[in-house]
């Protein structure tokens, strides 16, 4: 995994030094906080805030030409283009599946299995946990599962916010435990720990958190009585059941370690080739030109438009982060000097360092790579084992990005909930998505318990290192 920004020969300098370099991030965080208090609109509401943050950087930087080049280099990185193209394709796939009655088929299946209310929300967590663990990608899980499982929650009588929190939590689960997740690989690799041993040592933290998340989803995942009455007649329709083959194909391709874009394109092609002969989709729904309107209508166009909001948000955000990285602010803010006085103190400093790095970069893997060498030095001085150091890094990385409303996972989860409009489900804000992500809150609790009590510290010793293949988010 490479950093979002493109390295430059020398650091970008800002008026005011470190404070000036951090000022654009401050503008962004202040704007997002204000939006969250106002009800946190969809990701389009973040565009003006990000533009203001980029403009603040332009006013403070010494070399404006290099600043502009740095923004563009960050936006043009392969990782960013992968996310943008994947979100556009996923929007198109979701739109096609919705048009074929796929959501009605999920509703029918949930009712046939008597998965209602909180039971459905708990099952949604488990499905997303299975997909994310198998594929190693939280983003891919949200892209694939979110627009499909969330609308079906209407017919199952599930509480909208609890359901979306369960979907986001299930996607987070794989990020925190899958051996092919890039955060797992980065945390183990930077600490010289073997991948298998790191994952086994992490089970004692993630399994209790997952159990609590499922329990909360089951207990509190039912919609209010009025909402249940409203959806009581939604029996669903089994005609769309053959379309289950489409997401199964996408997941199978990801399990085979095929490219995410390849998997989504094949899924989109399979959806069309399956739906048209079955009479679930008409050819004119794929592209229709209205005479005299100078416009084209299509389920594909509608789906692509769903991905525009989060794509523009991503481009602007990574430009902001690229400039921050090029200033050296991340390294300076997380630098470690001196020796830790105790294991508990060292662990608290490790968690604090990664928290600062995650907030500054808004990117889990970049943050882990930035502080990894410091953590290794500090942890060894405090006699912390490689597994323990790697687990502290990964557990911290799988909390804040999945809880705070200005990170991509919560933004993406909110974007996925827009698909629920066809079933009468409300759109959930990024703030609510993170607030109801019980799994990440439980991970944060486990992290606090581990640091303060030493839980899990014994036996997590040093081990050999190896070459690891990076998975895609």
- Tens-digit pLDDT string for the chain (473 aa): 334 444 445 888 999 888 898 899 889 888 877 876 666 556 677 889 889 999 999 999 999 999 999 999 988 877 678 768 877 887 788 778 778 877 677 767 777 777 888 999 999 999 888 878 866 778 878 887 888 889 888 888 899 999 999 999 999 998 888 876 778 877 888 888 887 788 888 999 999 999 999 999 999 988 764 444 344 444 557 787 888 788 788 778 876 767 778 888 998 899 899 989 988 888 888 887 777 666 778 888 888 887 787 788 778 888 887 888 788 876 676 664 445 568 888 899 899 989 988 887 777 877 787 787 788 888 888 888 899 999 999 999 999 999 998 888 898 899 889 888 877 889 898 889 999 999 999 999 999 999 999 898 876 654 433 333 333 34
Domain segments of the chain as ranges: 72-473
Residue appearing with tokens 């995942």: 221
- Contact indicator for 311, 88 with CB cutoff of 8 Å: yes
Q: Is the pTM for the entire model greater than 0.75?
A: no
Cα–Cα distance measured from residue 285 to residue 239, given in angstroms and rounded to the nearest whole number = 18
Q: What tokens does 171 get?
A: 């996607």
Mutual orientation of helices 299-306 and 308-326 as an angle, nearest 10°?
30
Measured between alpha carbons, how far is residue 390 from residues 33, 78, 81, 374 in Å?
Answer: 31, 26, 29, 12
| pLDDT value for 292 | 67
User: In terms of C-beta density within 10 A (0-12 exposed, 13-18 middle, 19 or more buried), how is residue 42 classed?
Assistant: middle
| pLDDT value for 453 | 92
| pLDDT value for 7 | 45
Which has the closest alpha carbon to 43: 434, 436, 430?
Answer: 430
3-class secondary structure for the chain?
CCCCCCCCCCCCCECCCHHHHHHHHHHHHHHHHHHHHCCCCCHHHHHHHHHHHHHHHHHHECCHHHHHHHHHHHHCCHHHHHHHHHHHHHHHHHHHHHHCCHHHHHHHHHHHCCCCHHHHHHHHHHHHHHHHHHHCCHHHHHHHHHHHHHHHHHHHCECHHHHHHHHHHHHHHHHHHCCCCHHHHHHHHHCCCCHHHHHHHHHHHHHHHHHHHHHHHHHHCECCHHHHHHHCCCCCCHHHHHHHHHHHHHHHHHHCCCCHHHHHHHHHHHHHHHHCCCCCCCHHHHCEEECCCCEEECHHHHHHHHCHHHHHHHHHHHHHHHHHHHCCHHHHHHCCCCCCCCHHHHHHHHHHHHHHHHHHHCCHHHHHHHHHHHHHHHHHHCCCCHHHHHHHHHHHHCCHHHCCCCCHHHHHHHHHHHHHHHHCCCCCCHHHHHHCCHHHHHHHHHHHHHHHHCCCCCCCCCCCCCCCCCCCC
> How many CB atoms lie under 10 A from the CB of residue 186?
25
Q: What angle do CA 214, 216, 217 make, to 5 degrees?
A: 65
Measured between alpha carbons, how far is residue 2 from residues 203, 369, 403 in Å?
Answer: 27, 9, 24
Cα–Cα distance measured from residue 286 to residue 271, given in angstroms and rounded to the nearest whole number = 12
Cα–Cα distance measured from residue 307 to residue 217, given in angstroms and rounded to the nearest whole number = 28
Residues 6+ apart with CB under 8 A from 152: 103, 106, 107, 110, 120, 423
């Amino acid at each position: 995994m490479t950093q979002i920004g493109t390295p430059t020969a020398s650091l970008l300098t800002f008026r005011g030094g470190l404070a000036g370099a951090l000022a654009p991030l401050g503008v962004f965080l202040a704007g997002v906080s204000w939006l969250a208090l106002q009800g946190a609109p969809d990701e389009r509401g973040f565009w003006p805030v990000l533009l203001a943050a980029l403009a603040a950087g332009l006013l403070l930087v010494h070399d404006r030409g290099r600043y502009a080049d740095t923004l563009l280099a960050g936006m043009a990185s392969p990782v960013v283009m992968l996310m943008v193209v994947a979100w556009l394709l996923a929007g198109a796939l979701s739109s096609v599946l919705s048009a074929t009655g796929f959501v009605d088929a999920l509703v029918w299946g949930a009712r046939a299995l008597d998965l209602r209310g909180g039971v459905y929300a708990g099952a949604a967590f488990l499905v997303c946990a299975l997909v994310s663990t198998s594929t190693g990608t939280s983003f891919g899980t949200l892209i694939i599962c979110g627009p499909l499982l969330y609308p079906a929650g209407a017919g199952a009588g599930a509480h909208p916010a609890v359901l979306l929190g369960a979907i986001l939590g299930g996607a987070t689960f794989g990020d925190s435990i899958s051996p092919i997740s890039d955060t797992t690989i980065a945390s183990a690799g930077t600490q010289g720990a073997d991948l298998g041993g790191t994952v086994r040592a992490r089970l004692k933290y993630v399994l209790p958190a997952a159990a609590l998340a499922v329990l909360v989803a089951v207990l509190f995942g039912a919609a209010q009585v009025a909402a249940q009455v409203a959806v009581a007649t939604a029996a669903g329709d089994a005609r769309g059941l053959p379309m289950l083959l489409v997401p199964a194909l996408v997941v199978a391709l990801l399990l085979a370690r095929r490219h995410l874009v390849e998997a989504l394109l094949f899924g989109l092609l399979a959806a069309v080739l399956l739906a048209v002969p079955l009479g679930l989709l008409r050819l004119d729904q794929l592209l229709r030109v209205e005479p005299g309107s100078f416009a084209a209508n299509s389920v594909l166009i509608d789906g692509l438009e769903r991905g525009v909001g989060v794509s523009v948000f991503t481009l602007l955000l990574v430009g902001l982060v690229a400039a921050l990285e090029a200033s050296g602010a991340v390294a300076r803010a997380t630098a470690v000097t001196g020796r830790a006085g105790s294991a508990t103190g060292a662990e608290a400093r490790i968690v604090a360092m990664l928290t600062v790095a995650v907030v500054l970069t808004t990117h889990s893997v970049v943050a882990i790579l930035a502080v990894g060498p410091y953590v290794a030095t500090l942890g060894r001085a405090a006699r912390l084992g490689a597994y323990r150091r790697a687990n502290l890094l990964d557990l911290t990385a799988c909390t804040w990005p999945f809880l705070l409303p200005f990170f991509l996972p919560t933004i993406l989860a909110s974007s996925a909930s827009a698909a629920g409009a066809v079933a009468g489900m409300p759109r959930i804000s990024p703030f609510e998505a993170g607030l109801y992500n019980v799994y990440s809150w439980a991970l944060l609790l486990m992290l606090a318990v581990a640091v303060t009590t030493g839980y899990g510290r014994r036996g997590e010793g040093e081990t050999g290192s190896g070459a690891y293949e990076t998975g895609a988010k």
